[in-house]
């Protein structure tokens, strides 16, 4: 009977799960695990900060459908990684988060760097366990099943260093290869929905985050087209409806949300498909007296007093296939009114400033980036404009942190996206605040020779906070990022920096960057005053 170390068995589990990378940082307590990964089909990717390991595992999972994996050492490494793991938790992404731990002899003792990792990770994971010799396959099977089950999310696995070293004859008798099936929707609930939709005069469709894993984009588009229904979207659901189509009327909770809300106001029924309030709660935009049909994998999370007329929990694709059988709806939405609204929303984003604006930068990026390219957006003032202006055309071409809304997401997320799709161009768009948080990760892109385009919209402020201070007539305190004598660098860790201060200069930099076979930073000097008007 052959014996393997527990670390080698865990590596085998990741291989069987289809996980290609584990992102992390080494420490004395996890080097046996890293050694076990060496030569396996699972590649260890060294990051510069453990939060980035969590972000990268998250994005890897979003783009592949496989469970992501990240690794930290104990203590401060484990606390650092919570930021990335929290992102996977609130953005509903299946990730295995491994933390190294002192050997079992030190359990309950006062030891340098030792804390209770399971308590630390409990609020931001679906399940937590300590790995034990002889029980790796059943524990990893459960961990992956829990991570992939609706609603998906991260699982924490504490890995004692002595357990990693121990030998075991354990063998595998099967392993989860796909997410557990989501239940079938209730027939009576579907019949109730059909009646409500048939009776409505102005039904409005709202789509959200769950659509990203529903495998139901064709059915959604057919349903919308058949009935010519207006659609609003959350930030993370962008791409399921082509925003060039006349049915799309805007993104909820982003720049110029008042114009979007104005169009939605006459709706007498909201058909929410895959709508997860983790991005933008129902209460923030849905009138209490408007009936709601909630079609999702889980029940609606909504305050008492709102009108949930029908709740359909189960497989969204099955629900849409059933709703496609409804006869053509005789609603009262007018095409000309919708076109007038779309024109008004577009006109609202025309710059009033003569300086280089964020809208101009984003428009240039959309024109230059090929249709299959991936844009990764950081969190900040620019995100609000991306939310309304960027048309990704298809799902998975715009990546953002929205449930967690973590600054610093874009740089590591773009690196992970390029690892998954080396054949596709990848741009990261970040404000200068988010850039400063994770600039060290550019060295990872350089080390891995990944030609990611890092676009920094530099306006010298934490502009989103500055907007909020301005609205409340507060002083602009604590938001200035640079002194007046700041000078741009010509490179970061070997990645060339191009400085662009006006639109044509910026377009030229984009075209050059797309041809470059190395990572490149475009420092884009924009006027932040437009944010005051648009957000």
Q: Which of 24-38, 74-88, 102-116 has the lowest mean pLDDT?
A: 102-116
Listing DSSP states for 181-205 in one string gives PPPPPPHHHHHHHHHHHHH-SSEEE
Q: Distance from CA of residue 531 to its chain's centroid?
A: 23
Q: Which of 58-72, 95-109, 225-239, 409-423 has the lowest mean pLDDT?
A: 95-109
Mean pLDDT (whole number) for 372-378: 97
pLDDT of residue 203: 98
- Which tokens go with 320? 């849409």
The residue to which tokens 């071409």 are assigned: 397
- Which tokens go with 486? 């700041």
Distance separating alpha carbons of residues 227 and 117, to the nearest angstrom = 52
pLDDT of residue 501: 94
Please say whether the beta carbons of 419 and 57 come within 8 A: no
- pLDDT tens-digit series, residues 132-150: 999 999 999 999 999 999 9
Q: Which of 277-291, 412-426, 440-454, 479-493 has the lowest mean pLDDT?
A: 479-493
pLDDT of residue 1: 60
Task: Flag whether pLDDT at 353 surpasses 90.
Answer: no
Please say whether the beta carbons of 435 and 523 come within 8 A: no
- Which tokens go with 242? 């082509």
Distance separating alpha carbons of residues 17 and 14, to the nearest angstrom = 5
The residue to which tokens 């996977």 are assigned: 88
Please say whether the beta carbons of 208 and 233 come within 8 A: yes
Give the DSSP letter of residue 372: T
- Which tokens go with 130? 């300590």
- pLDDT tens-digit series, residues 400-409: 999 999 999 9
The residue to which tokens 């076979």 are assigned: 517
Largest Cα span, the chain: 76
- Which tokens go with 178? 């796909």
Burial status of residue 114 (CB atoms within 10 A of its CB: 0-12, 13-18, 19 or more): middle
pLDDT of residue 116: 92
- pLDDT tens-digit series, residues 280-335: 999 999 999 999 999 999 999 999 999 999 999 999 999 999 999 999 999 999 99
Please say whether the beta carbons of 246 and 267 come within 8 A: no
Task: Flag whether pLDDT at 157 surpasses 80.
Answer: yes
Please say whether the beta carbons of 179 and 149 come within 8 A: yes
Band of pLDDT at residue 375, cut at 50, 70 and 90: very high
| Residue 126 neighbours by CB under 8 Å, 6+ apart | 89, 146, 147, 153, 154, 155
Distance separating alpha carbons of residues 179 and 340, to the nearest angstrom = 43
- Nearest CA-CA partner of 516 in 487, 490, 496: 496
Element (H, E) at 38: none
CA dihedral of residues 430, 431, 435, 438 (deg, nearest 10): -70
Band of pLDDT at residue 225, cut at 50, 70 and 90: very high
Task: Flag whether pLDDT at 91 surpasses 90.
Answer: yes
Q: How many CB atoms lie within 10 A of CB 306?
A: 16
Three-state DSSP class for residue 233: strand
Give the DSSP letter of residue 404: S
Listing DSSP states for 52-92 in one string gives HHHHHHHHHHHHHSSPEEEEE-STHHHHHHHHHHHHHHHTT
Task: Flag whether pLDDT at 64 surpasses 70.
Answer: yes
- Which tokens go with 325? 């059988």
Looking at the chain, the whole-number percentage of residues with pLDDT higher than 90 is: 86
Please say whether the beta carbons of 244 and 522 come within 8 A: no
Distance separating alpha carbons of residues 290 and 337, to the nearest angstrom = 21
Distance separating alpha carbons of residues 98 and 411, to the nearest angstrom = 22
- Which tokens go with 100? 């190294």
pLDDT of residue 529: 87
Is the bond preceding residue 151 a cis peptide, omega within 30 degrees?
Answer: yes
Distance separating alpha carbons of residues 143 and 350, to the nearest angstrom = 49
The domains located in the chain, with CATH, are 4-168 (3.40.50.970), 187-344 (3.40.50.1220), 349-534 (3.40.50.970)
Looking at the chain, the whole-number percentage of residues with pLDDT higher than 70 is: 99
**Averaged pLDDT of the chain:** 94
pLDDT of residue 106: 72
Please say whether the beta carbons of 400 and 236 come within 8 A: yes
């Amino acid at each position: 009977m052959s014996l393997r170390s527990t670390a080698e068995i865990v590596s085998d589990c990741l291989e069987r799960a289809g996980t290609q990378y584990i992102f992390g940082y080494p420490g004395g307590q996890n080097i046996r695990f890293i050694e076990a990964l060496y030569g396996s089909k699972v590649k260890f990717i060294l990051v510069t900060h453990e939060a980035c390991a969590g972000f990268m595992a998250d994005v890897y999972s979003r783009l592949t459908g496989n469970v992501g994996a990240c690794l930290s050492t104990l203590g401060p490494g484990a606390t650092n990684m919570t930021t990335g793991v929290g992102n996977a938790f609130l953005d509903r992404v299946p990730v295995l988060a491994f933390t190294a731990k002192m050997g079992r002899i030190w359990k309950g003792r006062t030891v340098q760097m030792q804390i209770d990792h399971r308590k630390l990770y409990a609020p931001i994971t679906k399940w937590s366990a300590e790995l034990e010799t002889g029980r790796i396959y059943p524990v990893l099977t459960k961990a992956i099943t829990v991570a992939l089950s609706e609603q998906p999310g991260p699982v924490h696995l504490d890995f004692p260093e002595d357990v990693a070293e121990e030998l075991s004859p354990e063998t595998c008798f099967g392993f989860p290869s796909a997410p557990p099936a989501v239940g079938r929707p209730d027939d009576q609930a579907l019949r109730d929905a059909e009646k409500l939709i048939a009776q409505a005069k102005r039904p409005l469709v709202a789509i959200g985050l769950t659509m990203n894993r529903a495998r139901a984009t064709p059915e959604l588009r057919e349903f919308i087209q058949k009935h010519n229904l207006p659609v609003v979207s959350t930030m993370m659901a962008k791409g399921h409806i082509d925003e060039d189509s006349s049915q799309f009327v805007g993104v909820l909770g982003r720049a110029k949300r008042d114009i979007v809300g104005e169009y939605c106001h006459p709706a007498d029924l909201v058909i929410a498909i895959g709508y997860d309030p983790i991005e933008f709660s129902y209460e923030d935009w849905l009138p209490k007296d408007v009936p709601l049909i909630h079609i999702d994998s889980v029940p609606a999370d909504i305050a008492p007093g709102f009108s949930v007329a029908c709740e359909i929990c189960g497989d969204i694709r099955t629900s849409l296939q059933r709703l496609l059988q409804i006869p053509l709806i005789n609603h009262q939405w007018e095409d000309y009114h919708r076109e007038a609204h779309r024109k008004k929303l577009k006109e609202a984003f025309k710059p009033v400033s003569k300086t280089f604006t964020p809208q101009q930068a984003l428009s240039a990026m959309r024109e230059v980036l090929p249709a299959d390219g991936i844009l990764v957006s950081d969190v900040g003032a620019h995100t609000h404009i991306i939310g309304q202006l960027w048309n990704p055309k298809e799902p998975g071409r715009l990546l953002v942190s929205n449930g967690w809304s973590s600054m610093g997401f874009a740089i590591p997320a773009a690196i992970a996206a390029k690892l998954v799709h080396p054949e596709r161009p990848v741009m990261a768009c970040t404000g200068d605040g988010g850039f400063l948080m994770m600039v060290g990760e550019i060295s990872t892109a350089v080390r891995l020779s990944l030609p990611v385009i890092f676009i920094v919209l530099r306006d010298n402020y934490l502009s989103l906070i500055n907007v909020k201070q301005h609205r409340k007539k507060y002083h602009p305190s604590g938001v200035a990022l640079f002194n007046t004598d700041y000078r741009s660098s010509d490179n970061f860790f070997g990645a060339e920096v191009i400085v662009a201060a006006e639109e044509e200069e910026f377009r030229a930099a984009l075209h050059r960057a797309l041809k470059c076979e190395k990572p490149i930073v475009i420092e884009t000097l924009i006027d932040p005053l437009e944010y005051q008007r648009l957000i």
